[in-house]
Structure 1
Amino acid sequence: MSDYFVTGATGFIGRFLVQELIANREGQIYVLCRAGSLGRLQKLIDEWGSDRVVPVVGDLSAPQLGVDAEWVAAHRGTIGHFFHLAAIYDMTADDATNDAMNIDGTRNALELAGALSAGTFHQVSSVAAAGDYKGVFTEDMFDEGQPLPSPYHRTKFESEKIVREESPVPWRVYRPAIVVGHSETGQMDKIDGPYYFFPLIKRLRDSLPGWIPLLGLDLRDTNVVPVDYVAKAMDHIAHVPGQDGQAFFLTNPDPQGAIEMINLFCRAARAPKFATPIDRRISDSRAIQALPSGLRPASLFAAAVHSKPVTAVFDQTVGRLGIPSEVLGHVNFTAVFDSSKAQALLAGSGISVPPLESYAEKLWNYWEENLDDSTSRDKKAKRALEGKYVVITGASSGIGEVTAKKVAQLGGIPVLVARGREKLETLQRTIEMRGGQAFVYPCDLSDYEAIDALAAKLSAELPRIDFVVNSAGRSIRRSIKLSLDRFHDFERTMQLNYFGAIRLVMGLIPKMSATGGGHIVNLSSIAVLTKIPRFSAYAASKAALDSWSNVVGSELHSDGISFTTIRMPLVRTPMIAPTKMYEKFPTISPGQAGDIVVRALVEKPEAINTLGGQFGAALHTAAPKTAHKVLNIAYQAFPDSAAARAHAADEEAAAHPRETASQKEMVGRLLKGLRWGR
């Protein structure tokens, strides 16, 4: 058994590699850490849940990484694998930064590996070492005279060259493609690669209908891989004997078209997609190929995006959305990366690259809920929420969780309330890792005594309560015919959605009044306005909360306490996931819902409604009989929930034999944008 030494363990790839080592290997795992980052590392160690991870204080810029000589002497000959991941993975970084981190850091790491007599030095390089090579680039190729168009490309090449020529111990090199988030969770911690385009996709989604095609260019092929694949593949290949002195491409053997990749994220965001009327069928035609290479469309495009006039125009247009001009010229690859050796070693291990379409939506959702910084750039929102205490119920998932992250991003202090302590503490750690502050208060909001205790504790322990967001709620989809013997469904729904919410607010009113007032945001539903069938329990509980807030708001106006009611459309939360019927209807993401809540906190309107909700309310007012007829069609077209049908042996299906798929599609279009429950 041998031990491990890892640099860059707190970085994106590093943290997942350490997880793999903990799960699959034995021995101590020593991780390099600056003295000032020990607190951050300790939180990661707590997250990993292993006492085998041991910090070693040092610095990438110092000889032998600044590790204490006594520690080196004590561990000489015990380190079987030295993983060097600490580096700059940023296309926009300048020469000095790239040199210091990627070149000098690699040389210092090699010094330490030699002093430790490490078994194997594992260098994490990049496909960028291939530069702008044209054609197939194999794992055995390295110095082929390829152009290195940026400081990033150059230093990746130079650092790999240093390992090849100067390593005092056996070595292996890993060249990942563009690394994106985790394929199962979407987790990512930085903006890179395709993520630079996400703000533009979000702007398009929020500005244009999703069915409008946009004009795009065929940007040729790119290559992205999820971080979990990279970490698993690296761990596996590192422990296959007899592979020293070789490089391995950790790439997708089936590269994606760049525009196809972007369209997958557009689809995940429900944004317009790009059409490419001039694609490679034209650019690869004999007529185009007969032109000198410098006059071909791909070469002209590459030259244009690197020219100063185009760069200046670009920076003042979409560059304002966070797309650096340096990135656009490197979205695609001129080389095709042959990963045959790596694929052969991984054969039979169960480790393979998942297709991007299987996890693109997870990447998008994680970015929108965690990395989208458009909220933090809103100066008005920052002034309104910075330093303010925001009590958020239902904070362990869905809209409540996203709202908490956005409040923290703006400098606010989310006070997290939900039943499960573990999920709340995980969210608290996430917020703190990003430099924010949060408090955890577990509470069962269906228990009146627990609510009273929570209100007393919040009032005693917090200096003030500036905002309350009532996000916790229960939704039941069941027709009245199947509810005649289930009165308890109405009681439970009313208890959480109405009585629980107002009991908490009533308990906090004295504290809010004594400290200058506050604002309460209630998450209601479009069902209150549209009166969708099968949601009588849910709609009634939300309508009760709406009415209570309207009345109490006028009474508390002089105390500085105000209310906003948000009648949300359908939101893609875990609550609606089991109901496949919802897939037929337009929905908004939790990130979009969180933006709406932030707007309510900042602007404090009396109500926020959607166009669909206003239309439904107007129809009920102007033509109530017509509204009932339309909604009865919806009632007949869509069945009760699976749980309800289990109790009724599909009575509704037998009563309406003429139900057809076309009816469902027609109602889906008619009720576009309606939110039936959270």
Structure 2
Amino acid sequence: MSYFVTGATGFIGRFLVEELLDHREGEVFVLVREGSLPRMQRMIERWDTDRVVPVVGDLGSDALGVDPEWVAAHVGEVDHFFHLAAIYDMTADDATNEALNVDGTRHAVALAEALGVGCFHQVSSVAAAGEAHGRFDESMFAEGQPLPSPYHRTKYESERIVREEATVTWRVYRPAIVVGDSQTGVMDKIDGPYYFFPLMKLLRDRLPAWLPLVGVDLGDTNVVPVDYVAKAMDHLAHLEGRDGEAFHLVNPEPQPVVDMINMFCAAAGAPTFATPIDRDVTHAGPLGLIPRRLRPLELATSLVKSAPAQAVLAQTLGRVGIPPEVLGHVRFAATFDSRRTEQALAGSGIGVPDLESYARTLWSYWEEHLDTSTARDRGAREALTGKYVVITGASSGIGQVTALKVAQAGGVPVLVARGREKLEATQAAIEDHGGTAYVYPCDLSDLDAIDRLCKDLVTDLPSIDVVVNNAGRSIRRSLKLSQDRFHDFERTMQLNYFGAIRLVMGLLPTMREQRRGHVVNISSIGVQTNPPRFSAYVASKAALDSWSNVVASELVGDGVTFTGIHMPLVRTPMIAPTKLYDKFPTISPAQAADLVVKAIVDRPHEINTLLGNAGAVAHTVAPKTAFRVLNMAYHVFPDSAAARGSDAQAGGRESEQIMLAKVFKGVHW
């Protein structure tokens, strides 16, 4: 069995190819433009397969521009032809939609017919339903529905071509709004709800999360993750006896737009919206007798689509990345019946996960990989363009996201950590976006290995401009349970203190010779607040702080400066073993990376939080009171199961723990 896939380098196409490789046998022919061959080759290398075979062609050419000799050689060999290449963009103009969605589908059908394929699989969209109102099931197509935009019209027209013009058997798939992978968050473009993420980030950074905001009922939407779409397509394509059918790849339960927005706001740590006037009010009693076209939501939607409103929106919300064309289509007028698809998927284990279960995953991936605010920051670009930034602990968490942001701003991240594989994955992500990064695996608890690293860095790189000491080890264990574990203190000092200063000392001669250099030390809010159970960790960070403060005065005349960031609790793999933290307020790795970029650009002596400063002041002016408060927290929070060497979690005072965690937000308890 063999396959032909168009749009394999695209988002859904890439996931579908992976499904075929994982669950099916035979070759997978993928249509690729000649200019995209290097990208496809990189993807094939990552898939580690010889089953994917690029076929050069173009969506805009007859029969997709595939060499007639290749077609003649493969007639009758392709069992399934998946056509995914199209434009999925509400902001694209009519000509682009027509060329890619309509003409491209006609060319794909022609190639499929020339190859004599077993079945043609058209990836359409629920947009083919246009603005049909009410229930729209999988047997419905030409219902006289309004098609309000080029995108809606060409999705409808491309599906019509398959239904009415194709001479080969076919199946149609209509996904709803497709978002990132529900397990990893992976996404490669800004679309659908992602347009609103920059505004949510702005609200998070400017307003406290507890502040209630007033919203309006914007109707219902429908969101599905790409992994569900790819798995469902693979399964449905191989069922017997389903030719000539359409399948709705949608959430069976429509999601209110405001609920969806609130899930992402909660994931971001932004305020959420309440809707005091919703459809329960506007559709009830005498208001329910008002004709649909005259109801507030319909009137508001019509107003948003008007030319004057679009012009105003372009100069307001458009400035924060929300295209005005999108605002007129934030809701679906139709409710998509997917009972046929659910029946066909029954027993497969394939279903739509609840958005709330993966909203944070989607947000985190966007914040770490798709948020381009650093690239748009003039100061960051001026400070980082062409600069070599050595980042330790760059394989995950703060270090990895810092590397991505440095590359965004034109810098060259030099990635240092123990594991080569993860570093190379980060390097590949940077290079895929046109950046440059270098990989230097090193065990930073081995001082001799650090010496070799320093020698390699000064030999290989034209300059050493910034060093970010991010790699670290945290140990949460009370002194009572540390009596026989002195090695905990030794290991923590070895990495957090000795490893960090050995690296800086090894690179200092080069920075002095350059007459410039900056060192960013990722310290901890614990140095200011002294939380119980962190004696080993806080002591190591305090030692690094003190060393940097002393040598800063010696090196300032040489152009070498230091910034210490007293970082609050960050949601990273380092804190994952402490399950207690799952319910605590934390900042994200991307927020922490923003602080690192600020440290590189502005070069302050310290970056602190208000709570950290308050803790430092409290220990100075009222030390006895501060220690009593900390002792109370010591008794409220238990030692972890790992620290006690047991599987059970002691405690049972969760409400008190969460209250203290919220009051002292960011402190490591």
TM-score when scaled to structure 2?
A: 0.98
CA drift of 1:308 comes to: 2.3
Q: Work out whether residues 5 and 28 of structure 2, in 8 Å CA contact, stay in contact via their aligned partners in 1.
A: yes
Match of 2:496 in 1: 497
Structure 2 counterpart of 1:407: 406
Shift of 1:364: 0.6
Distance 1:514 1:15 in 2: 48
Task: Within 5 Å, give how 1:215-230 maps onto structure 2.
Answer: 215-230=214-229
The alpha-carbon deviation at position 642 of structure 1 amounts to 1.6
Does 2:391 match 1:392? yes
Q: Deviations over 1:110-151 (max 9, x none)?
A: 111111111111110000000000011111111111001111
- Between the aligned partners of 2:577 and 2:535, the Cα distance in structure 1 is 20
2-structure distance, mates of 1:510, 1:154: 65
Partner Cα distance (2:523, 2:569) in 1: 11
Q: Which amino acid aligns with 1:183?
A: S
Judge conservation of contact 1:482–1:648 (CA < 8 Å) in 2: no
Partner of 1:567: 566
Q: How far did 1:292 drift?
A: 2.6
Q: Aligned to 1:671, which of 653, 658, 664?
A: 664
- Shift in CA distance, 35/191, structure 1 to aligned 2, threshold 3 Å: same
User: How far does residue 553 in structure 1 lie from its aligned partner after superposition?
Assistant: 1.5
RMSD: 1.5
CA distance in 1, matches of 2:396, 2:336: 40
Report whether the alignment pairs 1:29 with 2:28.
yes
| Corresponding position of 2:128 | 129
Unmatched 5+ residue regions in structure 2?
none
CA shift in 2, pair 1:300/1:116, >3 Å: same
CA distance in 1, matches of 2:230, 2:656: 48
C-alpha distance in 2 between matches for 1:236 and 1:648: 40
Cα deviation for residue 665 of structure 1 reads: 4.3
Q: Which amino acid is 1:176 matched to?
A: P
| In structure 2, distance between residues paired with 1:620 and 1:246 | 71
Give distance in 1, aligned partners of 2:662 and 2:370.
33
Aligned partner of residue 373 in structure 2, secondary structure? coil
Q: Is the 8 A contact 2:249 2:341 kept in 1?
A: yes
Structure 1 distance, partners of 2:139, 2:531, is: 63
- 1:367 matched to 2:366: yes
Specify the alignment match of 1:82 in structure 2: 81
Q: Structure 1 pair 161/649, CA: closer, same or farther in 2 (3 Å)?
A: closer
Cα distance in 1 for residues equivalent to 2:569 and 2:592: 9
Provide the rounded CA distance (Å) in 1 between the counterparts of 2:471 and 2:501: 12
The residue aligned with 1:160 is 159
Q: 1:59: Cα distance to partner?
A: 0.9
Q: CA deviation at 1:311?
A: 2.0
Instruction: Decide whether aligned partners of structure 1 residues 255 and 293 sit closer, same or farther in structure 2, where only a CA change above 3 A counts.
Output: closer
Conserved 8 A contact 1:221-1:256 = yes
SS in structure 2 at match of 1:441: strand
Q: Hey, what does 2:607 align to over in structure 1?
A: 608
The aligned amino acid for 1:319 is G
Matched, 1:509 2:513: no
Structure 2 equivalent of residue 326 of structure 1? 325
Please tell me the residue identity of whatever aligns with 2:213.
L
SS of 1:522's partner is: strand
Distance 2:608 2:371 in 1: 24
Whole-Å Cα distance in 2 between the matches of residues 429 and 225 of structure 1?
27
Q: Please say if residues 209 and 272 of structure 1, whose CA atoms lie closer than 8 Å, have aligned partners that are also in contact.
A: yes
Q: 1:531 to 1:648 in 2, by over 3 A?
A: farther
Q: Call closer, same or farther: CA 1:17–1:584 in 2, change over 3 Å.
A: closer
**Residue type matched to 2:491 in 1?**
R
Q: Does 1:456 align with 2:455?
A: yes
Q: Which moved more, 1:176-185 or 1:300-309?
A: 300-309
Q: 1:220, 1:636 → 2: CA distance?
A: 48
Which residue of the partner structure matches residue 286 of structure 2? 287
Paired residue secondary structure (1:201):
helix
Aligned position for 1:260: 259
Aligned to 1:312: 311
Contact 2:641 2:647 in 1 (8 A): no
**Letter of the 1:85 counterpart:** L
Contact 2:641 2:648 in 1 (8 A): no
CA contact (8 A) 1:178 1:223 kept: yes
- Per the TM alignment, residue 365 of structure 1 is displaced from its structure 2 partner at its CA by 0.5
Q: 2:130 touches 2:148 (CA, 8 Å); kept in 1?
A: yes
Structure 1 residue runs without a partner (length 5+): 654-658
Quote the offset at 1:297 in angstroms.
1.2
| Alignment-mate amino acid for residue 453 of structure 2 | L
Contact 2:90/2:326 (<8 A) preserved: yes
In 2, the alpha carbon distance for the partners of 1:265 and 1:669 equals 20
2:382 is matched with 383
Q: Is the 8 A contact 1:123 1:171 kept in 2?
A: yes
Query: What residue in structure 1 maps to residue 426 of structure 2?
Result: 427
Find the residue that maps to 1:543 and give its secondary structure: helix
Instruction: Note if 1:183 corresponds to 2:182.
Output: yes
SS in 2 for 1:83: strand
1:644-659 matches, within 5 Å, as: 644-646=643-645
Matches within 5 A, 1:519-558: 519-558=518-557
SS in structure 2 of the partner of residue 56 of structure 1:
strand
| Partner SS state of residue 375, structure 2 | coil
1:343 and 1:428 map into 2 onto residues whose CA distance is: 40
- What displacement does 1:661 show? 4.7
Deviation readout 1:39-77 (Å, 9 max, x if unpaired): 111111112121100111111111111111111111111
Residue 200 of structure 1: CA displacement?
Answer: 0.8
Q: Which moved more, 1:502-511 or 1:514-523?
A: 514-523
Residue 318 of structure 1: CA displacement? 2.2
* Change in 2 beyond 3 A, CA 1:661/1:192: closer
- 1:196 maps to which residue? 195
Q: Kindly report which structure 2 residues correspond to 1:610-649, keeping only aligned pairs within 5 A, or say none.
A: 610-646=609-645
Structure 1, 544-553 or 128-137: larger mean CA deviation: 544-553
Contact 1:571 1:675 in 2 (8 A): no
How big is each residue's C-alpha offset from its partner over 1:515-573, in whole Å with a ceiling of 9 and x where there is no partner?
Answer: 34211111000000011111111111001101111111121112211111000000011
Q: Deviations over 1:483-521 (max 9, x none)?
A: 122111111000000000010111111222223421111
CA distance in 2, matches of 1:395, 1:660: 36
**AA partner of residue 533 (structure 1):** P
CA distance in 2, matches of 1:454, 1:472: 15
Cα deviation, 1:258-285, whole Å, max 9, x if unaligned, reads 1101111111111100000111101211
In structure 2, the partner of 1:210 is: 209
Shift of 1:674: 2.0
Is the CA contact (8 Å cut-off) linking 1:522 and 1:565 kept in structure 2?
yes
Distance 1:146 1:670 in 2: 54
Aligned residues: 669
In structure 2, what is the equivalent of residue 656 of structure 1? Answer: none
- Please give the alpha-carbon distance, in whole angstroms, between the structure 2 residues aligned to 1:331 and 1:45: 36
Secondary structure of 1:375's aligned partner: helix
- Report the equivalent of 1:6: 5
Distance 1:13 1:647 in 2: 44
Change in CA separation of 1:222 and 1:662 when aligned onto 2, cut-off 3 Å: closer
Q: Is the 8 A contact 2:474 2:537 kept in 1?
A: yes
CA distance in 2, matches of 1:461, 1:408: 19
* Secondary structure at 1:552 match in 2: helix
- 1:540 counterpart letter in structure 2: A
Tell me the amino acid that sits aligned with residue 471 of structure 2: A
Q: How does 1:89-108 map to 2 (within 5 A)?
A: 89-108=88-107
Q: Secondary structure at the match of 1:87?
A: coil
Q: In structure 2, how many angstroms separate the alpha carbons of the residues matched to 1:671 and 1:277? A: 32
**Distance in 2 separating the partners of 1:427 and 1:486:** 35
Counterpart Cα distance in 2 of 1:290 and 1:666: 48
Q: How far, CA to CA, are the matches of 2:249 and 2:656 in structure 1?
A: 48
The CA deviation at 1:245 is 1.4
How far did 1:662 drift?
5.3
CA distance in 2: counterparts of 1:621 and 1:641, whole angstroms: 30
Report deviation, 1:218: 0.6
| Structure 1 residue 583, shift from structure 2 partner | 3.6
Superposed, 1:321-360 pairs within 5 Å as: 321-360=320-359
* Residues 122 and 170, structure 2, Cα contact 8 Å, conserved in 1: yes
Q: Which amino acid aligns with 2:58?
A: D
